[in-house]
Structure 1
Amino acid sequence: MSSEGDKPSRLENTSHILYDSGSSSYTTYSNTVRIPIVGPYIELEKKTDACEAVPGKPIQYRVILRNKGNYAAKVVLYDELPNGMAFVPGSIVKDGVPLPGVDLDEGLKLGAVDPGEKVKVAFQLVLKLGSEEYCGKKVCNRMKASVSFYSSNGRKVKENVFSNTICLPVAKADKAVPFAKLTVDPAKAAPGDRLSYKLIVGNQGHAAAMVTLLSFLPKGLLYAPNSLTINGKWISGGVPGNAGIPLGLIEPGESVTVAWEVVVPGVTIVSPGQWIDNRAILRASYRDPGCDERVSEEFHSNKTVVELCFPVITAKLKAKPEVSFPDGRVNFTLQLANAGNRAAICGSDKLLRGPICLVPESMTVDGEGKQVTISDNRIVFGELAPSGVMRILFQGIISPLVTTRTLRGHIDVQYEYLLHDQVHKEAVSTNPYTIAIMHDDE
Structure 2
Amino acid sequence: MIRDSRLQPVVSNQSMVLFSSAAGADVITYSNTVHTPVVGPVLTILKSADQTSVSLGETLVYTLIARNEGNAPALATLVDILPSGVSFVANSVLRDGVPLPGVSPSSGIPLGAIAPQGEIRIAFQVIVVSLPPSLELGNRARAVYSFTTSEGRRVEGEVYSNQVSVSLLAYKLSILLAASTPTTFVGDAVTFTLRLRNEGTRLMSGILATIPVPEGAAFLPASVISGGIYSPDAGPAKGIPLPPLAPGKAEDISFQVRVVSVPSSSALTTRAVVTYDTAGDAGETKSNTVTVAVIQSGLSVSLKVDKYSAAPGDQLRYEFTIRNSGNLAVDAMVADAIPTGTLFIWDSVRVDGIPQRGVRPGEGIPLGTIRAGSAAVVDFLVSIPAEANIHHVPAIQNQGSVEYTFTLPDGRNVRERVRSNTVVTLLVSPIISIEMTGEPPLVEPGGIAEFNITVMNSGNYPAEVSVIQIIPQGSTLETGKVTVSVHTLPESTYSGIISLGVMQPGQTIQLSYLVRVHPGYMGNALQGCSTALYLYTIDGRRYSGEARSNSYRLLIEEISE
Q: Give the shorter-chain TM-score range.
A: 0.5 to 0.7
The alpha carbon displacement at 1:267 in A equals 3.8
The residue that corresponds to 1:221 in the other structure is 342
The residue that corresponds to 1:183 in the other structure is 304
| 2:471 aligned with 1:352 | yes
CA deviation vs aligned residue, 1:146-191 (integer Å, no higher than 9, x gap)? xxxxxxxxxxxxxxxxxxxxxxxxx976342322100112111111
CA deviation vs aligned residue, 1:186-237 (integer Å, no higher than 9, x gap)? 1111112222211101112211000011221111112223322111112234
The residue that corresponds to 2:367 in the other structure is 247
Whole-Å separation in 1 of the counterparts to 2:392 and 2:473: 36
The residue that corresponds to 1:342 in the other structure is 461
Whole-Å separation in 2 of the counterparts to 1:222 and 1:434: 41
Counterpart contact for 2:309–2:428, Cα < 8 Å: yes
Whole-Å separation in 1 of the counterparts to 2:495 and 2:406: 64
Counterpart contact for 1:315–1:413, Cα < 8 Å: yes
Counterpart contact for 2:442–2:555, Cα < 8 Å: yes
After superposition, the Cα gap between the structure-2 partners of 1:428 and 1:203, relative to the gap in structure 1 and judged at 3 Å, is: same
DSSP-derived class of the 2:559 partner: coil
CA deviation vs aligned residue, 1:364-406 (integer Å, no higher than 9, x gap)? 1111112368799743222211111111112222222222222
Amino acid across the alignment from 1:136: S
| 2:453 aligned with 1:329 | no
Whole-Å separation in 1 of the counterparts to 2:430 and 2:490: 25
The residue that corresponds to 1:258 in the other structure is 378
Alignment of 1:199-218 (within 5 A): 199-218=320-339
| 2:447 aligned with 1:317 | no
Counterpart contact for 1:273–1:307, Cα < 8 Å: no
Whole-Å separation in 2 of the counterparts to 1:376 and 1:230: 55
TM-score if structure 2 supplies the norm length? 0.46
Alignment of 1:276-425 (within 5 A): 276-289=396-409, 291-359=410-478, 361-371=480-490, 378-425=497-544
CA deviation vs aligned residue, 1:246-277 (integer Å, no higher than 9, x gap)? 10101111110111122221145444870110
CA deviation vs aligned residue, 1:272-322 (integer Å, no higher than 9, x gap)? 870110011221011123x52111122211111111111111211111211
TM-score if structure 1 supplies the norm length? 0.58
Whole-Å separation in 2 of the counterparts to 1:345 and 1:353: 24
After superposition, the Cα gap between the structure-2 partners of 1:418 and 1:320, relative to the gap in structure 1 and judged at 3 Å, is: same
The alpha carbon displacement at 1:242 in A equals 4.5
The alpha carbon displacement at 1:133 in A equals 10
Q: Which has the larger Rg?
A: 2
The alpha carbon displacement at 1:351 in A equals 1.8
The alpha carbon displacement at 1:428 in A equals 1.1
| Structure 2 unaligned regions, length at least 5 | 1-184, 188-261, 269-291
Counterpart contact for 1:365–1:393, Cα < 8 Å: yes
Whole-Å separation in 2 of the counterparts to 1:52 and 1:371: 76
Amino acid across the alignment from 1:411: S
CA deviation vs aligned residue, 1:345-367 (integer Å, no higher than 9, x gap)? 11133222421333473201111
DSSP-derived class of the 2:363 partner: coil
Q: 1:136 aligns with which of 258, 263, 266?
A: 266
Alignment of 1:156-167 (within 5 A): none
Shift >6 Å, 4+ stretches: 372-377
Counterpart contact for 2:337–2:361, Cα < 8 Å: no
The residue that corresponds to 1:81 in the other structure is none
CA deviation vs aligned residue, 1:55-92 (integer Å, no higher than 9, x gap)? xxxxxxxxxxxxxxxxxxxxxxxxxxxxxxxxxxxxxx
The alpha carbon displacement at 1:136 in A equals 2.8
The residue that corresponds to 2:201 in the other structure is none
Counterpart contact for 1:350–1:379, Cα < 8 Å: no
Alignment of 1:93-172 (within 5 A): 134=264, 136=266
Whole-Å separation in 1 of the counterparts to 2:439 and 2:387: 32
Amino acid across the alignment from 2:306: D
Counterpart contact for 2:310–2:427, Cα < 8 Å: yes
Whole-Å separation in 2 of the counterparts to 1:376 and 1:235: 54
After superposition, the Cα gap between the structure-2 partners of 1:317 and 1:135, relative to the gap in structure 1 and judged at 3 Å, is: farther
Q: 2:356 aligns with which of 211, 230, 235?
A: 235
Whole-Å separation in 2 of the counterparts to 1:360 and 1:210: 78
Whole-Å separation in 2 of the counterparts to 1:427 and 1:330: 26
Whole-Å separation in 1 of the counterparts to 2:495 and 2:306: 33
Whole-Å separation in 1 of the counterparts to 2:493 and 2:302: 50
Counterpart contact for 1:372–1:380, Cα < 8 Å: no
Counterpart contact for 2:483–2:513, Cα < 8 Å: yes
Whole-Å separation in 2 of the counterparts to 1:390 and 1:335: 6
Amino acid across the alignment from 1:213: V
CA deviation vs aligned residue, 1:15-41 (integer Å, no higher than 9, x gap)? xxxxxxxxxxxxxxxxxxxxxxxxxxx
After superposition, the Cα gap between the structure-2 partners of 1:187 and 1:241, relative to the gap in structure 1 and judged at 3 Å, is: closer
| Structure 1 unaligned regions, length at least 5 | 1-50, 54-131, 139-170
Whole-Å separation in 2 of the counterparts to 1:317 and 1:366: 14
Amino acid across the alignment from 2:335: L
After superposition, the Cα gap between the structure-2 partners of 1:319 and 1:194, relative to the gap in structure 1 and judged at 3 Å, is: same
Q: RCO greater where, 1 or 2, for CA within 8 Å and sep 6 or more? A: 1
Whole-Å separation in 2 of the counterparts to 1:423 and 1:372: 31
Whole-Å separation in 1 of the counterparts to 2:426 and 2:267: 39
Whole-Å separation in 1 of the counterparts to 2:530 and 2:316: 34
Counterpart contact for 2:399–2:423, Cα < 8 Å: yes
Is the deviation greater in 370-379 or in 185-194? 370-379
Whole-Å separation in 2 of the counterparts to 1:433 and 1:230: 56
Whole-Å separation in 2 of the counterparts to 1:280 and 1:212: 11
DSSP-derived class of the 1:361 partner: coil
DSSP-derived class of the 2:381 partner: strand
CA deviation vs aligned residue, 1:401-442 (integer Å, no higher than 9, x gap)? 222222321111111111112221111111221211112118
Whole-Å separation in 1 of the counterparts to 2:397 and 2:300: 19
Whole-Å separation in 1 of the counterparts to 2:501 and 2:468: 14
Counterpart contact for 2:469–2:529, Cα < 8 Å: no
Q: How many matched pairs?
A: 280
